[in-house]
């Protein structure tokens, strides 16, 4: 499997894991202090081939994702659930610990920024769905992040993330319905 886009990762170990999974080119940020020259490389990559940001499912990974997407518009995003980013033994979390299958799936499912943007999801929608300000909100946000493949967010970040990825109201409501059905059947 060959990926046309260039994948932005955090470091060398992530590049090794990506190359074990498929044929792709990467740009390494070398940590969360993303410097100007790396941003310029990513801008050029986005212009020429497109970019998929694929960082670790932790705070530094989210910080890198935010820095890159703020400076380079139109990037696609791949997310890896935390449970698939843990090593078989020892501590840590990251893309480098994921199986080739999990990496391929995350990249295959990379979210596209949708051209046709329909109705925006409101803060009230999030409150009504029990995603913020209530018992079980965190668990629901985790499930929603997995369903929509947008990663986990806290309450404040969720509104921004849904709109950043231009998730349609229809897709949001469908995902929430599925989550409620799963909870009822559990």
- Digitized pLDDT (tens) for each residue of the chain, 186 residues in all: 678 899 999 999 999 999 999 999 999 999 888 999 999 999 999 998 899 999 999 999 999 999 999 999 989 999 999 899 998 887 889 999 999 999 998 998 774 443 333 457 888 889 999 999 889 999 999 999 999 888 888 988 898 888 777 788 888 989 999 999 998 887
145 shares a domain with 65: no
Question: What range does the domain containing 140 cover?
Answer: 123-185
Please check whether residue 70 lies inside any domain of the structure: yes
Among 108, 134, 162, identify where a domain stops: 108
Among 108, 137, 154, identify where a domain stops: 108
Cα gap 165→86, rounded to integer Å: 26
CB-based contact 79:150 (threshold 8 Å): yes
Domain containing residue 28: CATH number: 3.40.1360.10
Please check whether residue 114 lies inside any domain of the structure: no
Please check whether residue 43 lies inside any domain of the structure: yes
Among 50, 78, 108, identify where a domain stops: 108
Please check whether residue 138 lies inside any domain of the structure: yes
Please check whether residue 117 lies inside any domain of the structure: no
Tell me how many domains the chain contains: 2
Cα gap 57→59, rounded to integer Å: 7
pTM: 0.65
């Amino acid at each position: 499997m060959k990926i046309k886009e260039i994948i932005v990762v955090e470091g060398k170990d992530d590049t090794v894991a990506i190359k074990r999974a498929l044929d792709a080119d990467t740009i390494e940020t070398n940590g969360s202090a993303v410097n100007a020259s790396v941003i310029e490389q990513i801008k050029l990559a986005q212009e020429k081939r497109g970019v998929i940001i694929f960082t670790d499912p932790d705070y530094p990974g989210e910080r890198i994702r935010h820095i890159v997407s703020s400076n380079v518009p139109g990037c696609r995003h791949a997310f890896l659930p935390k449970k698939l980013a843990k090593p078989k033994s020892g501590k840590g979390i990251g893309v480098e610990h994921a199986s080739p299958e999990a990496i391929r799936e995350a990249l295959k499912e990379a979210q596209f920024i949708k051209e046709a943007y329909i109705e925006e999801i409101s803060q009230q929608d999030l409150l009504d769905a029990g995603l913020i300000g209530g018992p079980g909100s965190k668990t629901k946000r985790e499930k929603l992040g997995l369903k929509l493949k947008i990663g986990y967010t806290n309450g404040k970040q969720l509104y921004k993330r849904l709109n950043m990825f231009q998730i349609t109201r229809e897709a949001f409501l469908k995902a929430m319905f599925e989550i409620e059905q799963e909870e009822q059947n559990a």
